[in-house]
Amino acid sequence: MSHLEKLTLSLGVRGRSAFIDGIHLDNCTLSRLPHLHTFVFDIITDFVRSTGHFEASADHIRRTFIQRGHHANCYIDYHHSNMRRCHAYSVPLKMECMSYFARFSWWCVHKCSHSDRLILTNTTPQKEKQSHQLVKLEEVSSVIEYSRLAELDCIHVHIDYVEQFLSNVNTCLPCLRKLHAQYEHLVTVTENFTRNTTRMNCVKLKHITSDDNVAMARSKDFYLYFPLL
């Protein structure tokens, strides 16, 4: 282990009294790997209780990684009951397995465009919404291609983000095979499985899962929209 030269770390920890930052990671792990020269990480510390004393900001945690030579980004999300979540990750994020964003921005998700699985959770609506009808020509050049993304989980998101990912005005998903989304969101975003701007990103889907207590009404338009189901 001490001769390890490359390390890709995907870590999720719950119930700690403090966030995992660059100092903790260096003291507990990286300092024991003297030959390490490539380190890619995606670390989530969840359900950390707010104490009311000094609490590290996202900028502070980000600096603890940068000061140790790691290009990183970080954000902190606040739950109810004074519980907090911290997500720190390498920039650019090149993990092949899974990327998880709780309070994501279009910028940070762009950094995951080479992942093959993406899990999103954000129930807050977007402040600026794109019109279904009015699409500026310059927006076409900002389409993000997720060339390897095979599985997208957007069960726990506001409908705005389902729209943002499935519309080919925003994204290109040439390899998408599995989709997890609320059925009502799919019906609305695809306009009852007739909308052309979301059809392209759905046409290769082989598996769709929704809420356990919601039955999908599989109409003729449904099967035309998802021909591989």
Which of 124-138, 147-161, 195-209 is predicted with the least confidence, judged by mean pLDDT? 124-138
Boundaries of domain holding 16: 1-91
Q: Report the side by side order of strands in the sheet with 38-49.
A: 6-14, 38-49, 83-90, 72-78
Q: What is the pTM of this model?
A: 0.56
Whether 156 and 81 share a structural domain: no
Digit-coded pLDDT (tens) for 7-30: 988 888 888 888 999 999 999 889
Digit-coded pLDDT (tens) for 162-208: 998 999 988 899 999 999 999 999 999 999 999 999 999 999 999 99
Residue 62 tokens, joined: 């980000």
Whether 65 and 1 share a structural domain: yes
Instruction: Inform me whether the pLDDT recorded for 143 exceeds 90.
Output: no
Q: What is the pLDDT of residue 133?
A: 38
Once rounded to an integer, what is the mean pLDDT over residues 55-77?
89
Q: Are 43 and 99 in contact (CB under 8 A)?
A: no
Of 91, 123, 157, the residue at which a domain comes to its end is 91
Long-range contacts of 7-10 (CB under 8 A, 24+ apart): 7/33, 7/36, 7/38, 7/39, 7/40, 8/40, 8/41, 8/95, 9/39, 9/40, 9/41, 9/42, 9/43, 10/41, 10/42, 10/43, 10/95, 10/97, 10/98
- Give the confidence band of 85 by pLDDT, cuts at 50, 70, 90: confident
Could you write out the three-class secondary structure of 43-63?
EEEEEEECCCCCCCCHHHHHH
Q: What is the pLDDT of residue 42?
A: 86
Of 65, 91, 117, the residue at which a domain comes to its end is 91
Whether 85 and 161 share a structural domain: no
Whether 65 and 5 share a structural domain: yes
